Amino acid sequence: MRTQVAIIGAGPAGLLLGQLLHKSGIDAVIIEQRSPDYVLSRIRAGVLEQVCMDLLDKAGVSARAHAEGLPHDGFDLLFKGERHRIDLQALTGGSRVTVYGQTEVTRDLMDARAAAGLVTVYDAQNVAVHDFDGAHPRVTYEKDGQMHELACDFIAGCDGFHGVCRASVPEGALHTYERVYPFGWLGVLADVKPVAHELIYANTERGFALCSMRSNTRSRYYLQVPTTDKLENWTIDQFWTELGHRLDPEARANLETGPALEMSIAPLRSFVAEPMRFGSLFLAGDAAHIVPPTGAKGLNLAASDVGYLWNAFADFYNDRSRAGIDTYSDRCLRRVWRAERFSWWFTSLMHRFPETGEFGQKMQEAELDYLVHSRSASTALAENYVGLPMDFGT
Protein backbone atom coordinates (compact mmCIF):
# COMPACT_ATOMS: atom_id res chain seq x y z
CA MET A 1 0.00 0.00 0.00
CA ARG A 2 1.22 3.57 -0.64
CA THR A 3 0.04 6.99 0.55
CA GLN A 4 1.37 10.54 0.61
CA VAL A 5 1.31 10.98 4.41
CA ALA A 6 1.35 8.10 6.90
CA ILE A 7 -0.14 9.29 10.21
CA ILE A 8 0.69 7.29 13.33
CA GLY A 9 -2.00 7.72 16.00
CA ALA A 10 -5.74 8.39 15.80
CA GLY A 11 -5.99 10.75 18.74
CA PRO A 12 -7.04 14.37 18.14
CA ALA A 13 -3.73 15.31 16.47
CA GLY A 14 -3.74 12.43 13.97
CA LEU A 15 -7.43 12.67 13.16
CA LEU A 16 -7.36 16.46 12.75
CA LEU A 17 -4.31 16.25 10.47
CA GLY A 18 -6.00 13.54 8.40
CA GLN A 19 -9.12 15.66 7.99
CA LEU A 20 -7.25 18.86 7.04
CA LEU A 21 -5.07 16.98 4.52
CA HIS A 22 -8.21 15.47 3.00
CA LYS A 23 -9.64 18.98 2.61
CA SER A 24 -6.46 19.89 0.69
CA GLY A 25 -6.64 16.83 -1.57
CA ILE A 26 -3.68 15.14 0.12
CA ASP A 27 -3.94 11.38 0.72
CA ALA A 28 -3.21 10.08 4.24
CA VAL A 29 -3.60 6.76 6.03
CA ILE A 30 -3.93 6.70 9.83
CA ILE A 31 -2.51 3.75 11.79
CA GLU A 32 -3.75 3.38 15.38
CA GLN A 33 -2.78 0.73 17.91
CA ARG A 34 -6.04 0.80 19.86
CA SER A 35 -9.72 0.31 18.99
CA PRO A 36 -12.01 3.27 18.28
CA ASP A 37 -13.92 2.61 21.51
CA TYR A 38 -10.71 2.63 23.54
CA VAL A 39 -9.61 5.95 22.02
CA LEU A 40 -13.04 7.44 22.82
CA SER A 41 -12.96 6.07 26.38
CA ARG A 42 -10.05 8.28 27.41
CA ILE A 43 -11.40 11.31 29.32
CA ARG A 44 -8.99 14.22 28.83
CA ALA A 45 -9.18 17.86 27.82
CA GLY A 46 -12.17 20.14 28.11
CA VAL A 47 -11.25 23.67 26.98
CA LEU A 48 -10.68 24.69 23.33
CA GLU A 49 -8.87 27.87 22.30
CA GLN A 50 -10.25 29.88 19.35
CA VAL A 51 -7.22 28.70 17.35
CA CYS A 52 -8.42 25.13 17.84
CA MET A 53 -12.02 26.00 17.01
CA ASP A 54 -10.84 27.74 13.81
CA LEU A 55 -8.97 24.60 12.75
CA LEU A 56 -12.04 22.46 13.44
CA ASP A 57 -13.97 24.92 11.23
CA LYS A 58 -11.38 24.51 8.44
CA ALA A 59 -11.57 20.73 8.84
CA GLY A 60 -15.36 20.89 8.44
CA VAL A 61 -16.02 19.12 11.76
CA SER A 62 -17.07 21.97 14.07
CA ALA A 63 -20.88 21.94 13.71
CA ARG A 64 -21.51 20.09 16.98
CA ALA A 65 -18.80 22.04 18.83
CA HIS A 66 -20.59 25.28 17.87
CA ALA A 67 -24.01 23.82 18.67
CA GLU A 68 -23.17 22.04 21.94
CA GLY A 69 -19.93 23.67 23.09
CA LEU A 70 -20.20 26.25 25.87
CA PRO A 71 -18.58 29.62 25.08
CA HIS A 72 -16.87 30.90 28.22
CA ASP A 73 -15.94 34.57 28.64
CA GLY A 74 -14.18 34.13 31.97
CA PHE A 75 -13.24 31.89 34.87
CA ASP A 76 -12.81 32.25 38.65
CA LEU A 77 -9.66 32.09 40.74
CA LEU A 78 -10.43 30.96 44.28
CA PHE A 79 -7.93 31.68 47.06
CA LYS A 80 -8.17 32.60 50.75
CA GLY A 81 -11.82 31.45 50.59
CA GLU A 82 -12.86 34.06 48.00
CA ARG A 83 -13.53 33.88 44.26
CA HIS A 84 -12.27 36.49 41.78
CA ARG A 85 -13.39 36.48 38.15
CA ILE A 86 -10.88 36.78 35.32
CA ASP A 87 -12.89 38.49 32.56
CA LEU A 88 -11.27 36.96 29.50
CA GLN A 89 -13.43 38.82 27.00
CA ALA A 90 -12.84 42.28 28.50
CA LEU A 91 -9.13 41.72 29.12
CA THR A 92 -8.35 40.36 25.64
CA GLY A 93 -10.60 42.60 23.56
CA GLY A 94 -13.20 39.92 22.87
CA SER A 95 -11.49 36.51 22.98
CA ARG A 96 -13.10 33.57 24.73
CA VAL A 97 -12.67 29.78 25.03
CA THR A 98 -15.13 26.98 24.29
CA VAL A 99 -15.83 24.20 26.77
CA TYR A 100 -16.23 21.05 24.68
CA GLY A 101 -14.69 17.71 25.68
CA GLN A 102 -11.79 16.13 23.80
CA THR A 103 -13.86 12.97 23.58
CA GLU A 104 -16.44 14.87 21.50
CA VAL A 105 -13.75 16.44 19.28
CA THR A 106 -12.36 12.96 18.66
CA ARG A 107 -15.83 11.57 17.94
CA ASP A 108 -16.58 14.36 15.45
CA LEU A 109 -13.27 13.74 13.66
CA MET A 110 -13.79 9.96 13.59
CA ASP A 111 -17.30 10.36 12.15
CA ALA A 112 -16.08 12.78 9.45
CA ARG A 113 -13.23 10.45 8.49
CA ALA A 114 -15.54 7.44 8.23
CA ALA A 115 -18.11 9.45 6.23
CA ALA A 116 -15.39 10.41 3.73
CA GLY A 117 -14.37 6.74 3.41
CA LEU A 118 -10.79 7.50 4.48
CA VAL A 119 -8.49 4.68 5.61
CA THR A 120 -7.86 4.28 9.35
CA VAL A 121 -6.24 1.04 10.53
CA TYR A 122 -7.29 0.40 14.15
CA ASP A 123 -5.88 -2.32 16.41
CA ALA A 124 -2.55 -2.23 14.55
CA GLN A 125 0.24 -4.00 16.40
CA ASN A 126 4.03 -3.76 16.26
CA VAL A 127 3.90 -0.47 14.39
CA ALA A 128 7.36 0.59 13.24
CA VAL A 129 8.67 3.51 11.19
CA HIS A 130 11.57 3.07 8.75
CA ASP A 131 13.96 5.05 6.55
CA PHE A 132 12.52 8.43 7.55
CA ASP A 133 16.04 9.86 7.17
CA GLY A 134 16.39 8.17 3.78
CA ALA A 135 14.72 8.14 0.36
CA HIS A 136 12.01 5.55 1.04
CA PRO A 137 10.16 6.24 4.28
CA ARG A 138 7.67 3.54 5.21
CA VAL A 139 5.61 2.14 8.06
CA THR A 140 5.18 -1.54 8.92
CA TYR A 141 2.50 -2.96 11.20
CA GLU A 142 0.69 -6.18 12.05
CA LYS A 143 -3.07 -6.51 11.67
CA ASP A 144 -5.06 -9.72 12.17
CA GLY A 145 -1.84 -11.71 12.17
CA GLN A 146 -0.67 -10.29 8.82
CA MET A 147 2.34 -7.97 8.42
CA HIS A 148 1.67 -4.89 6.26
CA GLU A 149 3.91 -2.23 4.74
CA LEU A 150 2.84 1.34 3.92
CA ALA A 151 5.15 3.33 1.67
CA CYS A 152 4.81 7.11 1.94
CA ASP A 153 6.41 10.49 1.32
CA PHE A 154 6.11 11.67 4.93
CA ILE A 155 5.36 10.20 8.37
CA ALA A 156 3.41 12.27 10.93
CA GLY A 157 4.15 11.05 14.46
CA CYS A 158 0.86 11.79 16.23
CA ASP A 159 1.25 8.84 18.59
CA GLY A 160 1.38 10.61 21.94
CA PHE A 161 3.91 10.62 24.76
CA HIS A 162 4.40 6.85 24.82
CA GLY A 163 4.35 6.39 21.04
CA VAL A 164 6.85 4.72 18.73
CA CYS A 165 7.81 7.71 16.56
CA ARG A 166 9.84 9.85 18.98
CA ALA A 167 11.31 6.60 20.35
CA SER A 168 12.54 5.74 16.82
CA VAL A 169 14.64 8.88 16.47
CA PRO A 170 18.35 8.02 16.67
CA GLU A 171 19.98 8.62 20.07
CA GLY A 172 21.60 12.06 20.17
CA ALA A 173 19.42 13.52 17.41
CA LEU A 174 16.89 14.63 20.02
CA HIS A 175 17.24 16.96 23.01
CA THR A 176 14.55 16.62 25.69
CA TYR A 177 13.57 18.93 28.54
CA GLU A 178 11.44 17.64 31.40
CA ARG A 179 10.02 18.53 34.77
CA VAL A 180 7.93 15.94 36.64
CA TYR A 181 5.65 17.48 39.28
CA PRO A 182 5.41 15.99 42.79
CA PHE A 183 1.63 15.54 42.51
CA GLY A 184 -1.10 14.33 40.17
CA TRP A 185 -4.72 15.15 39.40
CA LEU A 186 -7.52 12.90 40.61
CA GLY A 187 -10.30 13.50 38.09
CA VAL A 188 -14.02 12.67 38.29
CA LEU A 189 -16.59 12.86 35.51
CA ALA A 190 -20.19 12.81 36.76
CA ASP A 191 -23.67 13.57 35.50
CA VAL A 192 -24.28 16.32 38.05
CA LYS A 193 -25.00 20.01 37.49
CA PRO A 194 -21.81 22.11 37.45
CA VAL A 195 -21.13 23.93 40.68
CA ALA A 196 -20.88 27.25 38.77
CA HIS A 197 -21.51 28.47 35.20
CA GLU A 198 -17.76 29.03 34.62
CA LEU A 199 -14.60 27.16 35.68
CA ILE A 200 -13.17 27.60 39.18
CA TYR A 201 -9.39 27.17 39.76
CA ALA A 202 -8.76 26.89 43.52
CA ASN A 203 -5.53 27.44 45.45
CA THR A 204 -6.06 26.14 49.00
CA GLU A 205 -3.85 25.02 51.87
CA ARG A 206 -5.22 21.49 51.23
CA GLY A 207 -4.09 21.63 47.62
CA PHE A 208 -5.38 22.59 44.16
CA ALA A 209 -8.89 21.90 42.91
CA LEU A 210 -10.56 22.59 39.56
CA CYS A 211 -14.29 22.70 38.85
CA SER A 212 -14.93 22.22 35.14
CA MET A 213 -17.73 20.77 33.05
CA ARG A 214 -18.71 19.07 29.78
CA SER A 215 -22.26 20.46 29.57
CA ASN A 216 -24.86 22.05 31.85
CA THR A 217 -25.64 18.59 33.24
CA ARG A 218 -22.20 16.93 33.23
CA SER A 219 -19.33 18.08 35.44
CA ARG A 220 -15.59 17.40 35.44
CA TYR A 221 -13.70 17.93 38.72
CA TYR A 222 -10.04 17.55 39.68
CA LEU A 223 -8.20 17.39 43.01
CA GLN A 224 -4.44 17.65 43.47
CA VAL A 225 -3.24 14.40 45.06
CA PRO A 226 0.26 13.13 45.97
CA THR A 227 2.06 11.10 43.29
CA THR A 228 1.96 8.17 45.73
CA ASP A 229 -1.85 8.27 45.87
CA LYS A 230 -3.82 5.40 44.37
CA LEU A 231 -7.32 5.31 42.89
CA GLU A 232 -8.27 2.52 45.32
CA ASN A 233 -7.64 4.95 48.20
CA TRP A 234 -10.68 6.97 47.11
CA THR A 235 -14.42 6.44 47.15
CA ILE A 236 -16.58 8.90 45.24
CA ASP A 237 -18.04 10.08 48.57
CA GLN A 238 -14.54 10.84 49.87
CA PHE A 239 -13.89 12.75 46.64
CA TRP A 240 -17.00 14.93 47.08
CA THR A 241 -16.14 15.59 50.75
CA GLU A 242 -12.56 16.66 49.92
CA LEU A 243 -13.73 18.80 47.00
CA GLY A 244 -16.17 20.54 49.33
CA HIS A 245 -13.32 21.33 51.74
CA ARG A 246 -11.48 23.10 48.88
CA LEU A 247 -14.41 25.28 47.75
CA ASP A 248 -15.79 28.60 48.99
CA PRO A 249 -19.11 28.49 50.95
CA GLU A 250 -21.25 29.48 47.94
CA ALA A 251 -19.73 26.85 45.65
CA ARG A 252 -19.89 24.25 48.42
CA ALA A 253 -23.59 24.96 48.88
CA ASN A 254 -24.12 24.53 45.10
CA LEU A 255 -22.12 21.28 44.89
CA GLU A 256 -24.31 18.51 43.47
CA THR A 257 -22.87 15.04 44.08
CA GLY A 258 -23.51 11.68 42.47
CA PRO A 259 -21.85 8.50 41.13
CA ALA A 260 -18.71 8.79 39.00
CA LEU A 261 -18.91 7.98 35.28
CA GLU A 262 -15.11 7.96 35.28
CA MET A 263 -12.46 8.39 37.96
CA SER A 264 -8.70 8.45 37.26
CA ILE A 265 -5.38 9.87 38.43
CA ALA A 266 -3.19 11.63 35.84
CA PRO A 267 0.47 12.42 36.48
CA LEU A 268 1.68 15.95 35.71
CA ARG A 269 4.80 16.77 33.77
CA SER A 270 6.31 19.41 31.48
CA PHE A 271 8.18 17.88 28.55
CA VAL A 272 9.54 19.08 25.23
CA ALA A 273 11.55 17.17 22.60
CA GLU A 274 13.58 19.26 20.16
CA PRO A 275 13.58 19.36 17.20
CA MET A 276 10.14 18.12 16.03
CA ARG A 277 11.32 16.99 12.58
CA PHE A 278 13.74 14.29 11.43
CA GLY A 279 13.98 14.01 7.66
CA SER A 280 10.51 12.92 6.57
CA LEU A 281 9.30 12.22 10.15
CA PHE A 282 7.35 15.05 11.83
CA LEU A 283 6.26 14.91 15.50
CA ALA A 284 3.01 16.64 16.51
CA GLY A 285 1.07 16.94 19.78
CA ASP A 286 1.89 14.84 22.82
CA ALA A 287 4.48 12.90 20.77
CA ALA A 288 6.63 16.04 20.99
CA HIS A 289 5.53 17.83 24.15
CA ILE A 290 3.49 17.53 27.34
CA VAL A 291 2.15 20.30 29.56
CA PRO A 292 0.57 20.05 33.02
CA PRO A 293 -3.19 20.40 32.29
CA THR A 294 -3.57 23.46 34.56
CA GLY A 295 -3.49 25.87 31.62
CA ALA A 296 -5.69 23.66 29.37
CA LYS A 297 -2.99 23.72 26.66
CA GLY A 298 -2.33 20.05 25.79
CA LEU A 299 -5.02 19.51 23.21
CA ASN A 300 -4.72 23.08 21.94
CA LEU A 301 -0.97 22.74 21.29
CA ALA A 302 -1.63 19.49 19.43
CA ALA A 303 -4.09 21.39 17.23
CA SER A 304 -1.67 24.24 16.45
CA ASP A 305 1.15 21.79 15.62
CA VAL A 306 -1.26 20.14 13.19
CA GLY A 307 -2.17 23.52 11.72
CA TYR A 308 1.49 24.23 10.94
CA LEU A 309 2.04 20.70 9.56
CA TRP A 310 -1.07 20.86 7.36
CA ASN A 311 0.13 24.17 5.89
CA ALA A 312 3.60 22.70 5.35
CA PHE A 313 2.31 19.65 3.46
CA ALA A 314 -0.16 21.74 1.45
CA ASP A 315 2.69 24.09 0.39
CA PHE A 316 4.79 21.08 -0.60
CA TYR A 317 2.17 19.24 -2.64
CA ASN A 318 0.30 22.21 -4.07
CA ASP A 319 3.13 24.76 -4.54
CA ARG A 320 6.16 22.43 -4.55
CA SER A 321 7.57 24.61 -1.75
CA ARG A 322 9.61 23.11 1.10
CA ALA A 323 9.46 26.34 3.14
CA GLY A 324 6.75 25.11 5.53
CA ILE A 325 8.45 21.75 5.98
CA ASP A 326 11.81 23.32 6.70
CA THR A 327 10.40 25.81 9.24
CA TYR A 328 7.86 23.45 10.85
CA SER A 329 9.85 22.62 13.97
CA ASP A 330 10.93 26.19 14.77
CA ARG A 331 7.42 27.59 14.22
CA CYS A 332 5.82 24.93 16.46
CA LEU A 333 8.42 25.19 19.20
CA ARG A 334 8.05 28.95 19.60
CA ARG A 335 4.35 28.52 20.42
CA VAL A 336 5.03 25.32 22.40
CA TRP A 337 7.58 26.97 24.71
CA ARG A 338 5.27 29.94 25.40
CA ALA A 339 2.52 27.49 26.37
CA GLU A 340 4.99 25.41 28.43
CA ARG A 341 5.97 28.54 30.34
CA PHE A 342 2.36 29.55 30.98
CA SER A 343 1.37 26.03 32.08
CA TRP A 344 4.40 25.76 34.38
CA TRP A 345 3.75 29.22 35.86
CA PHE A 346 0.01 28.59 36.45
CA THR A 347 0.75 25.14 37.93
CA SER A 348 3.42 26.60 40.24
CA LEU A 349 1.03 29.34 41.37
CA MET A 350 -1.97 27.12 42.06
CA HIS A 351 -0.56 23.93 43.60
CA ARG A 352 1.03 23.08 46.94
CA PHE A 353 4.55 21.68 46.61
CA PRO A 354 6.38 19.78 49.36
CA GLU A 355 8.49 22.88 49.95
CA THR A 356 5.61 25.41 49.77
CA GLY A 357 5.11 25.63 53.56
CA GLU A 358 3.48 28.61 55.31
CA PHE A 359 5.75 31.21 53.71
CA GLY A 360 5.27 29.72 50.23
CA GLN A 361 1.49 29.71 50.72
CA LYS A 362 1.63 33.41 51.65
CA MET A 363 3.73 34.12 48.55
CA GLN A 364 1.18 32.34 46.31
CA GLU A 365 -1.71 34.19 47.94
CA ALA A 366 0.09 37.53 47.60
CA GLU A 367 0.77 36.87 43.91
CA LEU A 368 -2.87 35.91 43.37
CA ASP A 369 -4.04 39.00 45.29
CA TYR A 370 -1.84 41.21 43.08
CA LEU A 371 -2.91 39.37 39.93
CA VAL A 372 -6.67 39.79 40.42
CA HIS A 373 -6.28 43.49 41.33
CA SER A 374 -3.84 44.43 38.53
CA ARG A 375 -5.30 44.89 35.05
CA SER A 376 -1.92 44.30 33.41
CA ALA A 377 -1.27 41.10 35.40
CA SER A 378 -4.79 39.82 34.72
CA THR A 379 -4.39 40.70 31.04
CA ALA A 380 -1.21 38.63 30.82
CA LEU A 381 -3.04 35.67 32.37
CA ALA A 382 -6.05 36.12 30.09
CA GLU A 383 -3.96 36.45 26.87
CA ASN A 384 -2.19 33.19 27.60
CA TYR A 385 -5.32 31.35 28.71
CA VAL A 386 -7.33 32.16 25.55
CA GLY A 387 -4.28 31.14 23.50
CA LEU A 388 -1.50 33.11 21.81
CA PRO A 389 -1.77 33.63 18.03
CA MET A 390 -0.31 30.95 15.78
CA ASP A 391 1.93 33.35 13.88
CA PHE A 392 3.78 35.83 16.02
CA GLY A 393 4.23 39.40 14.83
CA THR A 394 6.82 39.94 17.57
Taking the complex as a whole, how short is the minimal distance between the CB of residue 70 and ligand PHB, in angstroms?
Answer: 11
Question: At CA 342, angle to CA 73 and CA 354, rounded to 5?
Answer: 115
Whole-number minimum distance, CB 40 to ligand FAS, in Å? 10
Q: Is 297 a catalytic residue?
A: yes
Any contact of residue 294 with ligand PHB (CB under 6 A)? yes
Which residue of the chain is nearest ligand PHB when measured via CB? Answer: 46
Instruction: Report the nearest approach of ligand FAS to the CB of residue 9 (Å).
Output: 3
Of the candidates 50, 62, 103, 212, which one interacts with ligand PHB according to CB under 6 A? Answer: 212
| 49 lines the binding site for ligand FAS (CB under 6 A) | no
Given the residues 297, 308, 328, 351, select the one marked as catalytic. 297
Tell the burial category of 90 from Cβ atoms under 10 Å away from its Cβ (0-12, 13-18, 19+): middle
219 contributes a contact to ligand PHB by CB under 6 A: no
- Per CB under 6 A, the list member of 47, 110, 265, 312 interacting with ligand PHB is 47
| 71 catalytic residue (yes or no) | no
Task: Pick what 294 binds: ligand FAS, ligand PHB, none; C-beta below 5 to 8 Å, kind-dependent.
Answer: ligand PHB
Report helix, strand and coil shares of the chain as percent, to nearest 5.
40, 25, 35
CB-based contacts of 32-39 (< 8 A; 24+ apart in sequence): 32/120, 32/121, 32/122, 32/123, 32/124, 33/123, 33/124, 33/125, 33/127, 33/159, 34/10, 34/122, 34/123, 35/122, 35/123, 36/10, 36/110, 36/122, 39/10, 39/11, 39/106, 39/110
For ligand PHB, which residue of 53, 202, 296, 350 counts as binding (CB under 6 A)?
296
Edge-to-edge strand order for the sheet containing 97-99?
A: 47-48, 97-99, 70-72
- Least distance between ligand FAS and beta carbon 166 (Å): 10
Whether the CB-CB separation of 130 and 252 falls below 8 Å is answered with no
Map the footprint of ligand FAS across residues 159-198, applying CB under 6 A. 159-160, 163-164
Give Cα 62 distance to the centre of its chain: 17
350 forms part of the interface with ligand PHB (CB under 6 A): no
The residue type of 165 is C
Among candidates 52, 55, 64, which has minimal Cα distance to 24?
Answer: 55
Positions marked active-site? 72, 201, 293, 297, 385
Q: Which residues bind ligand PHB (CB under 6 A)?
A: 45-47, 199, 210, 212, 220, 293-296
Kindly list the residues in this chain that would bind ligand FAS in the complex (CB under 6 A): 8-14, 31-34, 39, 44-46, 102, 124, 127, 158-160, 163-164, 266, 285-286, 293, 296-299, 302
